Chains A and B, each alone.
Chain A
Amino acid sequence: MKQTPILVKEVKASLHLKTNQTFRLVVVLLFGFFCATSGLYAQHTQITLITRNTPVSEVLKMIEAKSNYHFAYNNKLIDVTRKVDVEATNEKISSILKKIFENTDVTFKVLDLQIILASSKEMGESVNNTNNDKVTGKVLDDRGEPLPGVSVLIKGSKQGTVTDYKGLYSINNLPKNAILQFSFIGMITQEVKVGSQLVINVTLQEESKGLSEVVVVGYGTTTKKGLVSAVTSIKPEELNKGAITDVGQLLQGKAAGLNITVGGDPTSRASVILRGPSTLNSSMEPFYVIDGIPGVDISLVAPEDIESIDVLKDASATAIYGNRASNGVIMITTKKGKKGVTHVSYSGYAGIENVTSTLNMMNASQLRAFATQTGQNLTEDTGANTDWQKEIQRGTAFSTSHNLSFNGGSDHNTYSASINYTNKQGIIKTSNENNIIARMTFDQMAFNDKVKIGLSVANARTISDYVPQLGEVLLQAASHLPTSPVKNTNGSYYENFNKSGYFNPLAIINYNQDQTKNNNLVASFTTNVKLPFGFTYDINLSYQNYSSLHGEYYDSYMYNYNGSVFYNNPNPPDTKSIVTFGQGGTALRNSYQTTNQSLENWLTWNKTFGAHSVNAVLGYSYEDDIYGDGFQATNINFPVNTVGFNNLALGNYSAISGAKVDFGSDQSYSKQRLISYFGRLNYNFNDKYYLQASLRRDGSSVFGINNRWGYFPSVGLSWRAGQEKFIQDLGIFDDLKVRASYGVTGNSTGFNAYTAQFLSSSMGNFYSNGSSIMSYGPNKAANPDLKWEKTATSNIGLDASVLKGRLSFTVDLYNKNTTDMIYWYDADILLVPAGGLYANGGSMNNKGIELSVTAVPVKIKNFSWKTSINLASNKNTITSLSNPYFVGGDSIRYTQPDGSGQTGSTLQIRQTGHPLGQFFTLIYEGKNSDGISQYLGKDGKLTINPTSDDYRYAGSPQPKLTYGWSNSFTYKNFDLSVFFRGVYGNKIFNVTRADLFRPSSVAFTNILVAAGNESVKDNNVYKYSSRFIEDGSYLRLENMSIGYTFKRPVKYIESLHLYGTVNNLFVITKYTGVDPEINQGGMAPGVDSNNFYPKTRTILFGLNIML
């Protein structure tokens, strides 16, 4: 930034010489704007300056040297040769300036880092009056505010001036047929024919939204207008508001094509799917890049620290991250310090959360009446009326957050630091999440500002207190008889172990513990070197360490449970497993850490030759990752329960016959390496025709020795048709751009790093020379040919802006084909004795259209309304599940919720020609004359004894449309935002409802009120079938926030913003479950099973203070 003062001097000179003035002034202003988008005013920067008998010009230079401010003035208008004395100690620049220009007609206006000096006399007056052709006027912005610093130029000449702080200008010496050009950064340049006018007032319109906005792409940045790919940029003010600690949740509904589902449980993460699932692997989530560091865990970013989020959607944008980019890339940029501006800000909120929706189970009197009516005897009725769902909830859950940050910088360095504390209670008792995130970045210029080095460190510490055995607790809370009491008269928990699988859910919560402490550290060291001939060179070194310390304790109370076991009751596709409780309490502790080390370096060449401009990047990256480095141990038989899992050494498992220590998986640890070479070329001609081509060569150690390297090319073209004269002549478009791209990305995650290799483990005993020997051998096959899973995406897009930027829209059409999907294929045992292996095969297609529209319907002096809507439609189809060698994979039925009496019943089928998650079940055909549920049989006839042979296709969980609609209103200092979002056209399999739909079992378990209308004779009533497949469409008022900003309420406070936010104000849906927002990621999308977690509404109050 050292150049800036030089340019200022040139401006002064140029104005004097009347050459090329507009361009350079714009440059000055541009720098000014980039330096400080919203900074402190000069009035507050204090400097010490003592000088005698010095020309004003020199004094101004001294001030420039001691601050970050630069002066812009026309030395024809302002006498800077006048000599002055200055004696100021820790004085504000404003007061120094006042002194200097005391008793002159010079006034000054601070425009961020620019201080514009103007003569209160009309500028033209001091210039030689060669004729009387003089025009004066005022330049305003579209809200009617005066615009200072607007360049006013006589078209075709180098003669011009600048508006003063009142937006006034005056220009002389106008030739005949003069045309005035009014230009200002961020505004649309206007031209006005002078003709006979003497006063020309102009209102400049803002340039269509964000054309010059910086967009972060891989290994560099570009501007919105220079983009050839489908990228959605989201500013912090557009992110979701509320007590949100998860970045996924911040983005929900904000970018077309990004389908994010958030469950009710605050300790669970949002599921993020971009442009439909593109793999059968577990890894469907996009790849996150934070401040240029690839693969950073998003828990490291506090929402308040986010400067911008860029969602890279098509392959021409993501291919530069080749190997890990096939699910899209999300780039997060955090707030950084700026030169000359010191920011201190605090933001905080306190929120309360209440339950809005739970399952509608029968209460005690309803259940008694139903039992009597149907001739059933409750197995337990103590006269109690317990609402078990309510019993396990907190009445109100509280959350608080504090974020304190400061940043700033001087000529040669910038810094920023923040600390964030969040505590969030879950609505189920004992569940809590506590985060502390600290972040610090420091950038230093060196070697004559040719080198910029930066250090950035962030650490996030999370303590999650989970509900122990949550699945079982929720199941018990839903199905427990309301006629059982919570406690005995002596205060102990009421239990009835004579009833099979009947446990008091509150006792489970209160007697046990389940906690994870995570610590996540990321540090990066960056170096940027400016080289001659337009080259720059970057090296980034980064290190990330994610460690977890997990503990579980099951009180000795649990051992008294019948059989001392129960099922963990997870959501499908996880399968039930038996949890066994040891005598005298069971403790489990494990600690694992994951580290990533990466080195990235690239050379950038930026050059403009006339109308041609070229940007080329050539780079290399190296990354070593270690996963699951750690251990686990368990112990039982503790003398007391009070130590919980904190001291494993106190237990004594060896005194219990047959007890063993569980050391966890023998394959938790893995290490992998990724090496990549990449290059990208951007070329544009005349800001009209853009070409981008990139190629990345990626190597990964996780693949078979024969196929470790893969190539990921991409190419993109865009044409800013709006720059063409024939489009401009239409007078419709402020901007019009057509984009087309094609590229290939890869996937190397979602399976163990050693998948391609032989790994031996114990394979049974055998007899050898009189002894029993444990044999060791590979328990799975090596696949030396395992290679990249590839996703090729074609994208066509259109960006347009009309009505002077008041309405803009973007349309993207894409076609995404994943091939060579890495998947576990069943194999001929003769060839692969372990029965199957990870191999490439199968393909999947996603086609879709995305539309986003932003409009400013109202923008008047005190009021504005901005609205934007995004719509996305995606069609997912599995196009093949075969593999050249292995056929296992097609038509596999899966998702087995194992409801009572329904073991073996599956809900979904994985089949060529169908979407991922295709429901495949019995088709419900009402009831027969005896009131028994009947189903469509294989032979087309109705049956009351259906089998799995009668399964048929029954809808898709993939939504036809996802949408988000945001609105922001400002009135004077008030702001209001209202955000709706929803999905349309998806089906949900309501397994939760089916499992609670058992009118004939009220003797043992509670049922839904709705099941009370069913006949107890109908033994099919709860059978998983199309009867329980429901429309999952919904519209939710996700959040509404109202705020008020005090500008400079007291001396040291720049601004104070107070706000209140409500989340989940209402949801409109026909869905009968707790909430229609059911996970749409993973292999079993759209299955609502064991989904008892209550849905909540949060109301919070917060404030942001900027100093």
Chain B
Amino acid sequence: MKKKYIYFIIPVLFSVFVQSCNDLTVPVTTQITSDVYPKDSAQFVASTGVVYAALRGNYAGDYYFMTTLTTDEAILPARGGNWYDNAGYLKMHYHTWNPDHGGTSTIWDWLSRIIGYDNQTMYILNNNMPAGNFKTRTISELRMVRALAYYWMMDMYGNVPIVTTYGDFQPKAKSDRKDVFNFIESEIIACLPNLSTTVDQTTYGRPTKYMAYALLAKLYLNAEYYTGTARYNDCVTACDNVINSSKFALEPASTYLQMFYPNNGPQMKEFIFALPYDPSFASLSGTNGNMYHARYDVPRSEKAKFGIPFTPSSAENTLPEFYAYFYDKNDVRDGQWLTGLQFMNDGVTPIMVTTTKKGYDQFYTGSDGGATYTYQVNLTPKVVLRQDSSLFDCGNDEISWNMGYRNIKFYPDASSTSRNQNNDEPVFRYSDIILMKAEAILRGGTATQGQTALSLVNTLRSNRTTSAAWSTVTLDSIYNERSREFTMENWHRNDMIRFGKYEGKWGFKVNADTYRRIFPIPTEAMAKNPKLTQNPGY
């Protein structure tokens, strides 16, 4: 019998083999996994790109609409049913948006996406990157992008959930605005020592120490509104940290407008932090990533004048209430507007349009409505809802398309082959530091370094206009100056709220609900995160 046991050697041997085959690890050889990427410095840089592509995402488009069309800066009425778009722009203008409004969910998603990708990228880099200065700086830059996104999120939605890690999929409840404020402040302060002080092409588009100070200044300037506690002295200090670096300077009047041209970039000495746009950039999926200002603002009749390859939609224009700030004929900033009779770039050739009488005026009742009609384009300041005021519609004829003054600050890009433009968009400019410091002093902060509110404003104005310097400065005049200086730069909503003007009347708006200083939590976001609660009033 003993011999029989020998037979069992086979399965026994086999089970030994089996034990050695208990490994489920399948090396992934055909995909970019986190085991193989990112591994070197070029790959670390490339992996941070996701966050920057996300950041650029909806800033020049949807965020611009949300911060501009909700103010007196611009209006986007329907024209014969075109651009009605489910009353989206109407609700922005009237201040009647609700949690289902497309804009409110697009911005929520965009900011969430920046934060989400930022956390995810940091999670990967923390695992993959060797410790050292490069890592410390890269991570600090990502934290600053996250702080900026949180700043916008807090500014737009008030109380928002704070998520700082990737991998915990438990839904997060909202934090109080005050706590979000403190979180942003602490993040900036924590990152400051690690951020670069170099201001050139190598740091363009990335957060530097000065971007951090600028964000801090913005936070402190609005602190009283956000938290009830004034932080004006802190704002002045933050501004001084930028001013004292001497890395930035105000553009003279002669080059102010060029600052926003398609070829702008790291050479702009006023740019503390800008988002680079380029028509050749592929967008991050889920975001827009494009820069489309000419599409909305340039009259359809001026395609040739600006040499753009497409016929612009021409749907957006400013309101007389806002254009009223541009009364100084000597101010270089007037040059960003198209008003009145239109001429080609030589300044003398009139821009003519040939249409029919009916095409010029859809309400023409004469029997010769089909007769040819040629006229020189003449932009009129007011928007009149001629066709249907309930549908926010001024009609679909030449009169309608010429309503409203047009902004071409982000100058049309004749070199692009699409609607997408090459103009980079500044988030923080040096002039903002100057005006923030001036405003902070006016609001109770202590003047420093011999710079008073008046001297600061006049320093700026001397680079914008040849008119005489101001002898006095008030909060209102600072507000007006900010309106001129930062037109179409996405800060006007923030300014209006801080100056208490957001509930004012302009255009066709009558609603004055103060709860609309923050937007509602979008329905879809509440569906995806059951812990979210709706903002008061909505």
Contact = CB atoms under 8 A, between A and B. Distances in A.
A671 interface: yes
Contacts, number: 201
B15 A620 contact: yes
A102 to B, nearest CB: 49
B153 to A, nearest CB: 9
B37 A776 contact: yes
A774 B38 CA distance: 13
A675 B289 contact: no
B7 A532 contact: yes
A845 B11 CA distance: 41
B204 interface: yes
Interface string A536-578: 0101000000000000000000000000000000000000000
Q: 10 closest A-B pairs (Cβ-Cβ)?
A: A775-B49, A833-B116, A764-B53, A767-B276, A764-B284, A777-B50, A760-B32, A532-B4, A885-B169, A765-B281
Contact of B117 (A765, A772, A833): A833
B124 A778 contact: yes
Contact of B53 (A601, A673, A763, A779): A763
Nearest to B203: A769
Given A766-B56, A775-B47, A777-B49, 13 more contacts: A701-B26, A759-B31, A759-B33, A760-B47, A764-B53, A764-B285, A766-B49, A769-B202, A772-B281, A775-B53, A776-B37, A776-B38, A829-B116
Contacts of B37: 760, 776
A675 B30 contact: no
A699 interface: yes
A766 B283 CA distance: 9
A882 to B, nearest CB: 10
A768 interface: yes
Given A768-B45, A774-B49, A775-B48, A699 B278 contact: no
Contacts of B56: 766
B46 A675 contact: no
Q: Chain A: interface residue count, which band? A: 35 or more
Interface in A642-678: 667, 669-673, 675
Interface stretch (B353-361, B469-477, B523-531): B523-531
A757 B28 contact: yes
Nearest to A538: B11
A432 B285 CA distance: 41
A197 to B, nearest CB: 53
22 contacts: A531-B8, A533-B4, A624-B26, A675-B23, A708-B24, A757-B28, A757-B34, A758-B33, A766-B56, A766-B281, A767-B276, A768-B205, A773-B45, A775-B48, A830-B163, A831-B163, A831-B168, A833-B117, A833-B119, A833-B120, A887-B528, A888-B528
Contact of B172 (A760, A774, A830): A830
Contact of A830 (B28, B33, B161, B527): B161
Given A765-B278, A766-B56, A675 B49 contact: no
A675 B22 contact: yes
Contacts of B113: 829, 833
Contacts of B30: 669-670
B376 interface: no
Given A758-B33, A763-B49, A777-B121, A827 B528 contact: yes
B527 A887 contact: yes
Contacts of B121: 777
Interface of A: 529, 531-533, 535, 537, 539, 601, 603, 620, 622, 624, 667, 669-673, 675, 699-701, 708, 753-754, 757-770, 772-779, 781-782, 784, 826-835, 839, 885-888
Contact of A671 (B26, B34, B525): B26
A303 to B, nearest CB: 36
B14 interface: yes
Contacts of B33: 754, 757-760
Contacts of A673: 24, 26
A770 B280 contact: no
B310 to A, nearest CB: 17
A531 B201 contact: no
A572 to B, nearest CB: 24
Interface in B49-63: 49-50, 52-54, 56
A624 B26 CA distance: 9
Given A759-B33, A777-B47, A887-B528, A701 B25 contact: yes
Given A775-B46, A777-B117, A601 B14 contact: yes
A759 B37 CA distance: 9
Most chain B beta-carbon contacts within 10 A, residue among A768, A781, A828: A828
B509 to A, nearest CB: 29
B23 to A, nearest CB: 8
Interface in B170-185: 170-172
A670 B29 CA distance: 9
Interface in B156-203: 161, 163, 166-172, 201-202
A172 B289 CA distance: 104
Contacts of A776: 32, 37-38, 43, 46-47, 49-50
Contact of B280 (A601, A669, A772): A772
Nearest to A622: B21
B437 to A, nearest CB: 29
A601 B13 CA distance: 12
A675 B48 contact: no
A834 B38 CA distance: 19
Most chain B CB neighbours (cut-off 10 Å) among A624, A760, A761, A776: A760
Contacts of B43: 776
B357 to A, nearest CB: 32
Interface string B508-538: 0000000000000000010111100000000
Interface in B39-81: 43, 45-50, 52-54, 56
Contact of B527 (A700, A831, A888): A888
Contacts of B282: 762, 764-765, 774
